[in-house]
Chains A and B, each alone.
Chain A
Amino acid sequence: MPDMSLFFDLGVVGLRIILPLYAIVIVYQCYAAMRRRRRPEKPLVSLYNTRTGGMLPVVFWENSIGRSRSSDIVVSDPSVSRNHCVLLRRKAGWFITDVGSLSGTFVNGVKVTGRAQVLIDDIITIGTTNYQFRRGDDFQSPLRSSWFFSKVSDKPAIKAWKLMLMVTLFHFFMAAEAMFWNDGTNVYSPLILFFALAAVEWGFFSVSYFALRRVNFELEALGLFLTGVGVMLLVRQVERSAYVQLIAAGIGIAIYCAIIKFIEDPDKVNKLRLPLMIAAVVMLSASIVLGKVTNGAANWVYIGSISFQPSEFVKTIFIFIGASALDTLQTKKNLIELIVFSVVCVGLLALMGDFGTALIFFVTFLLIAFMRSGDFKTIILAVAAAVFGVIIVLWYKPYVANRFSAWRHVWEHAQDTGGYQQVRVLTYTAAGGLFGVGIGNGYFKQYFASESDLVFALCAEEMGVIVAIVLALSVALLMIYARAITTRCRSTFYSISACCAAGLLVVQLSLNIFGATDILPLTGVTFPFVSCGGSSVISCWGLLAFIKAADERTYSLKR
Chain B
Amino acid sequence: MGQAVSVRVRGNSSISASNEPLYVVDGVPITTGSQSNFGGATNPLVDLNPNDIESMEILKDAAAGAIYGSRAANGVVLITTKKGKSGKTQVTFNYQTGYSESSRRVAFANSEQYATLLFEGAKYLDDANGIPTNDPGSDTEFLNGFFDYNSYGQWAANKTKTYEWQDVVFQKGAYNQADIQFSGGNENTKFFASGQYLKQGGIIIGNELERMTGRLNLDQKVTDWLTIGMNMNFARTYNRRLPDDNAFSNPLQSVALPPLTPNVIPVGQPGAGLPAGTPPGDLQIPIYYNPQITVDYSRFAQESFRNFSSSYATAKLLPGLIFQTEFGFDVLSQTEEGYFQSQTRRNQTRATRGLGTNRSTFIMNYNTNNYFNYTKKFGKSDLSATVGMQYQQSSTRTNFTEGLDFPSDSYQKIASAATISGGSSTETQFRFLSYFARANYKFADKYLLTLSGRIDGSSRFGANNRYGFFPAVSAGWILSEEGFLKGIEVISFLKLRGSYGIVGNSEIGNFPQLGLYTGDASYVGIGGQRPSQIGNPNLRWETNKQFDIGIDFGFFNNRLTGEIDYYNRRSEDLLLNVNLSSTTGFNSVVRNLGSLENTGFELVLNSQNTVGAFKWNTSFNIAANRGKVLNINGQIITGGLAALPNRVQEGQNIGVFYAPEYAGVDPANGDALFYKNTANPDGTIDRSTVNNANYSQAARTVVGDPNPDYVMGLTNSFSYKGIDLSVLFSAVLGNDISIYGLGQYSSANAIYEDNQTADQMARWQKPGDITRVPQARYYAGNGNQASSRFIVDGSFVRLRNVSLGYTLPKSLLNRVKLDRVRIYVTGQNLALFTSYPLWDPEVNADSFDSNIAKGNDFYTPPQPRTILFGINIGL
- Chains A and B form a bound pair: no
Measured CB to CB, the residues of B under 8 A from A are none
Measured CB to CB, the residues of A under 8 A from B are none
